[in-house]
Structure 1
Amino acid sequence: MSGGYFITGTDTGVGKTVVGLGLMRALKDRGRRVAAMKPVASGCRERDGILYNDDALRLQAEGSVGLPYSTVNPYAFAPPIAPHLAAAEVGVWISIPRIVEEFRGVAAQVETVIVEGVGGWRVPLDERETVADLAAALGLPVILVVAVRLGCLNHALLTVEGIHHSGVALAGWVANRLEPACTRAEADIDTLRRRIPAPLLGILPRLARPDPAAGAAHLHPERLAAWVTSVFGCRPARGGATSGNS
């Protein structure tokens, strides 16, 4: 598959979209054509008979190409609940093969596709499959967003372990300081830096809203380039994202 990254988090509401938008802007600033998908979203709002997710709209707007909303967000649900429950309420099956097919169509148009997961790594999509299965089917390396707050060490390290056991590559992680009052944030980040076997791609301050430029200012795509070289033994195309088969 063409190049891209799958963004997951230690929980819901940890800043996956902020990181995705920031990475898209940083790569665009380096001359790359990018697009994004948020394949599954709950808590969507209806407009003109169509359900929309605010984060998916932001990702759509930041892309280098104009994609239909239904491609960016194939599965949109109104209830703000776990996606498998929301899907069951309306009698919809979340099809991973359909998402993979949509991804292939997007990947043919750009150099890098950012795919944002829903919730955390093990969030169910149906009675059998989870977000982890979606990431594995897409074959994309993962970027983990860690909300730096009380309990983050356990959440982050368990997620890293889950990613490893899923057979998916962890390309890097981002520390998101959602709680400025957290007095031991630097110590927590240092602990994770020593224990997570992937580069720290940036430390985000708490942002008032998902702002691509603000996110890009705190991210370091060149660290992804170094990771690609170390894993695949070749230099990526300019900008730090994987290209070709990944």
Structure 2
Amino acid sequence: MTLSPRSYFIAGTDTEIGKTLASCGLLCGYAALGHSTAAMKPIAAGAEQGADGVWRNEDAEALAACVTVSVPRALSTPFLLHEPAAPHLVARQAGVALDVPHILRCHRDISARADITIVEGVGGWRVPLDDDQDTGDLARALDLPVILVVGMRLGCLSHALLTAESIARDGLRLAGWIANTVDPGMRFLEENVATLRDRFDRQYAAPLLGIIPRLAEPTGPVAAQYLDLGRLP
């Protein structure tokens, strides 16, 4: 089964809030529907060197394990930074320029090969990439609809609403959002989800795509069970 190729940019309210888990869930969900899938983690900060001498990023490898269309890592992660820190600082230290036009070329190549391409951002929406650009600028250059992953924990309401506001101000469409349960002991979890669902529905016509609970087995196939892809445009 095929459809017109489309891509989504996966943004998050912060770092370590489940962007990769949600991205893997989307990839596995679309694959289960018979669509070909590909993925990018254009900028990855944090890598370990294997016995074979190859540097690998855990998030990029998780995405690669969930796609149906494999591509060279030089395309899917054109900028692999070794230190797990703010990308603009690590890139500067390594003497690397995070070249957005190069990322765009890689995306064009990858997205031509699959029905669905998932592009996972780095950190939150305003994480700097250099002295002038941030993750939001990368998303704007790619000009893709955005799926926002909200890490459900104390303080997430402000983070989520501010991020959605920034996405809209950057002229991009918020296509939907995913609630990922970072803190299973969060007080009033359901009420917080309801608050965001109401705001996102009214202000951005952005549907809730699913609520991922705290998973004992945080993998793409398991996360996909909690997502409703039929709500995506």
Output the TM-score relative to the length of structure 2. 0.94
| Number of aligned residue pairs | 225
- 1:78-89 matches, within 5 Å, as 78-89=82-93
Alpha-carbon contact 1:174-1:200 (below 8 Å) kept: yes
What amino acid does structure 2 have at the position aligned with 1:99? I
Tell me by how many angstroms 1:64 deviates: 1.1
- 1:6-25 matches, within 5 Å, as 6-25=9-28
SS of alignment partner, residue 118 of structure 1: coil
* Counterpart residue number, 1:154: 158
Q: Is 2:220 the partner of 1:217?
A: no
What amino acid does structure 1 have at the position aligned with 2:125? W
* Counterpart residue number, 1:127: 131
Q: Relative to 1, partners in 2 of residues 1:97 and 1:2: Cα closer, same or farther, differing over 3 Å?
A: farther
Alpha-carbon contact 1:38-1:56 (below 8 Å) kept: yes
SS of alignment partner, residue 120 of structure 1: coil
What amino acid does structure 1 have at the position aligned with 2:12? G
* Counterpart residue number, 2:210: 202
What amino acid does structure 1 have at the position aligned with 2:211? I
- 1:85-164 matches, within 5 Å, as 85-164=89-168
Residue deviations 1:44-85, cap 9 Å, x none? 112344321011011112111221112111111111110000
* Counterpart residue number, 1:51: 55
- 1:27-42 matches, within 5 Å, as 27-42=30-45
* Counterpart residue number, 2:81: 77
SS of alignment partner, residue 122 of structure 2: strand
Alpha-carbon contact 1:145-1:175 (below 8 Å) kept: yes
SS of alignment partner, residue 8 of structure 1: strand
Alpha-carbon contact 1:4-1:114 (below 8 Å) kept: yes
Alpha-carbon contact 1:2-1:112 (below 8 Å) kept: yes
SS of alignment partner, residue 147 of structure 2: strand
SS of alignment partner, residue 62 of structure 1: coil
CA distance in 2, matches of 1:95, 1:50: 22
Stretches of structure 1 lacking an aligned partner (at least 5 in a row): 229-246
What amino acid does structure 1 have at the position aligned with 2:180? N
Residue deviations 1:19-42, cap 9 Å, x none? 100001110111100100000011
CA distance in 2, matches of 1:129, 1:213: 34
CA distance in 2, matches of 1:157, 1:15: 17
Residue deviations 1:90-132, cap 9 Å, x none? 1000000000000010011111100000000011111111111
* Counterpart residue number, 2:196: 192
Output the TM-score relative to the length of structure 1. 0.89
Alpha-carbon contact 1:16-1:116 (below 8 Å) kept: yes
Tell me by how many angstroms 1:205 deviates: 0.4
CA distance in 2, matches of 1:75, 1:209: 29
SS of alignment partner, residue 104 of structure 1: helix
Tell me by how many angstroms 1:178 deviates: 1.2
Tell me by how many angstroms 1:2 deviates: 4.2
CA distance in 2, matches of 1:207, 1:178: 10
SS of alignment partner, residue 149 of structure 2: strand
CA distance in 2, matches of 1:50, 1:128: 31
Q: What is the identity percentage for the equivalent residue pairs of Structure 1 and Structure 2? A: 48
What amino acid does structure 2 have at the position aligned with 1:11? D
